[in-house]
Every structure is written in C-alpha cells, then in structure tokens.
C-alpha cells in the first residue's frame, strides 16, 4: 500500500535529535522512507544511540555531532551527511533548542538583570542555530530541483508569550519570522518552510521534572483543553506530515500542536 506520508527517499537532517522531540522526529522520518537521516546532537553518544535505534528498525542514519550555533561545523556536518547518503539534504528539521548546549547559569534571573551574554543561551541555539542550519542546506536543496522542506520547532512562548522567558520567546518568534521569509524566497524552488509551535511536551527530561511536582503539573494542565502534556509522538506526527509529499501547498505557516493551550485564528 502506498504511504501518503512518505519522504520518497529524501535525506533528512534533524537537529538536537539525540533525545526528546527530535529523537522521535528522526525515528518517524526514518520509518517513512527517508533516504537517510543525519541525527544531529551536541552530545555524540545521544546521537549515536538514536542512529542505532533507526538502524535496528531497518532505516538509514548517521550521527552528526556539532553545536548548531557554529556555522562552519554545521556546514561540515551537512557535507559529511550528503557524502554518506549520496544526495543533498531535502528535509531540515530545526529542533535543537531550549537553553542550548551550555546554558548560562544566570538564565533564571530576570532578563533585565542580565545581558546579551546570558540571553545568548536562548538566542544562539533557537535563532542563530536555525539560521545556520538553514543556510547550510539551502544551496543543495535548490540544486536538487525537487521538493524541499524546512521545518522549525518553536514554542507557544514565541506566539503567545511566556512570563520570565523573554529571550527564549524572542528567539522562537524570530525563528518563525525567519521561516516565513524563507517561504517567500524559496517557494519558486518547491521548497516549503513552516514552524510547529509546541507547548508542554512530556519528554523524558520534562517528565522527570514534573513527577516531583504534581501540584504544578495539575495547575498547568488546567489551561489545556486536552488535559495532558503532549508526547514526542504528537509533535513528530505533524513534523512528518510537513516533511512528506502530502503537504506541498502548505508554506509560511505556524502550526500550534499544543492540546488547545492556545488557539490560532
């Protein structure tokens, strides 16, 4: 039976894919006929673990260890992946985020008591990381003369705002604006660019944090129409759809996947 969500052999790069949401996106893409998945993470062991999972399930993957805030390192990783799989990247999922590879210990302070060196933990990975990876894949994606997909995982913090997370919200909103402009520039090459805005998602790390604080979890979930945290699968389903050949006429959009925490017009 044909797979409406097939990647039809396109090579994918998923950043921050060593755990959590990115891991599940990498597994989903590999299971739907990716020609290969470059599993990026700053932590090599994590990336390699996901590569092993994909290979055990019969898919193709390599680990791409680098910090996405380093443009030269990102370009080298993309080149290595393209050589390994014999074709340019056709799907980029910018997922690496949160506070990045080396969070500044002062991030918890009010942002007005700190400065750009601290804010950069958020801006670096969530905005420059997205721009670096996108810049690295676009030349090859255009040269393929075939459908291409740019997908960025943002947060409802970037659509709706989130108290005490101003630099993070700024970076995520910036990434969504960047995707919209990419959509306008690259539509003529059959390349689409969209963002997925997620809310509380029970990755293993988030689950561990919440298990110790059931009262906070209860109060948080009161704001969700579907009263549970999201799962990595909830997010990966949307990423797969946007990466597949089922979505060629969808571009420049931000899709909330958030249990109804906020609603888009």
Ligand X SMILES: NC(=O)c1ccc[n+]([C@@H]2O[C@H](COP(=O)([O-])OP(=O)(O)OC[C@H]3O[C@@H](n4cnc5c(N)ncnc54)[C@H](O)[C@@H]3O)[C@@H](O)[C@H]2O)c1
> Which stretches of the chain bind ligand X, using CB under 6 A?
15-16, 18-22, 40-43, 46, 67-69, 95-98, 100-101, 125, 129, 153, 155, 198, 200-201, 203, 205-206
By C-beta, is 13 or 30 nearer to ligand X? 13
Kindly state the smallest distance separating residue 34's Cβ from ligand X, in Å. Answer: 19
By C-beta, is 134 or 203 nearer to ligand X? 203
**Is 189 a residue of the active site?**
no
Whole-Å CA distances, 137 to 12, 14, 36, 79, 141: 10, 12, 15, 9, 6
Kindly state the smallest distance separating residue 232's Cβ from ligand X, in Å. Answer: 7
Reduce the secondary structure of the chain to three states and give it as a string. Answer: CCCCCCCCCCEEEECCCCCHHHHHHHHHHHHCCCCEEEEEECCHHHHHHHHHHHHHCCCCEEEEECCCCCHHHHHHHHHHHHHHHCCCEEEEEECCCCCCCCCCHHHHCCHHHCCHHHHHHHHHHHHHHHHHHHHHHHHHHHHHCCCEEEEEEEEHHHHHCCCCCHHHHHHHHHHHHHHHHHHHHHHHHCEEEEEEEECCECCHHHHHHHHCCHHHHHHHHCCCCCCCCECHHHHHHHHHHHHCCCCCCCCCCEEEECCCCCCCC
Residue showing the smallest CB distance to ligand X in the complex: 97
In this structure, the chain runs to a length of 265
Kindly state the smallest distance separating residue 129's Cβ from ligand X, in Å. Answer: 5
**Which residue among the candidates 168, 189, 224, 255 is catalytic per the annotation?**
168
Kindly state the smallest distance separating residue 143's Cβ from ligand X, in Å. Answer: 25
As annotated, the active-site residues are 168
């Amino acid at each position: 039976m044909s797979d409406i969500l097939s990647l039809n052999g396109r090579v994918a790069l998923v950043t921050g894919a060593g755990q959590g949401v990115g891991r599940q996106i990498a597994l989903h893409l590999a299971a739907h006929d990716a020609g290969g998945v470059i599993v990026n993470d700053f932590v090599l062991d994590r990336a390699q673990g996901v590569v092993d999972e994909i290979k055990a399930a019969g898919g193709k993957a390599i680990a791409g260890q680098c910090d996405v805030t380093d443009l030269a390192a990102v370009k080298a990783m993309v080149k290595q992946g393209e050589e390994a799989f014999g074709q340019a990247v056709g799907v980029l999922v910018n997922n690496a985020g949160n506070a990045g590879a080396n969070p500044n210990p002062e991030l918890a302070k009010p942002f007005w008591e700190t400065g750009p060196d601290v804010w950069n933990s958020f801006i670096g990975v969530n905005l420059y990381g997205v721009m670096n990876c996108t810049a690295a894949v676009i030349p090859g994606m255009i040269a393929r003369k075939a459908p291409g997909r740019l997908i960025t995982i943002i947060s409802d913090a970037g659509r709706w705002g989130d108290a005490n997370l101003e630099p993070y919200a700024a970076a995520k909103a910036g990434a969504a604006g960047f995707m919209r402009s990419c959509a306008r520039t690259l539509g003529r090459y059959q390349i689409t660019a969209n963002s997925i805005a997620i809310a509380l998602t029970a990755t293993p790390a988030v689950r561990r944090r919440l298990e110790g604080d059931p009262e906070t979890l209860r109060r948080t979930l009161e704001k969700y129409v579907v009263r549970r945290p999201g799962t990595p699968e909830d997010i990966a389903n949307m990423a797969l759809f946007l990466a597949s050949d089922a979505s060629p006429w969808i571009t420049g959009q931000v899709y909330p996947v958030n249990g109804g925490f906020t609603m888009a017009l």
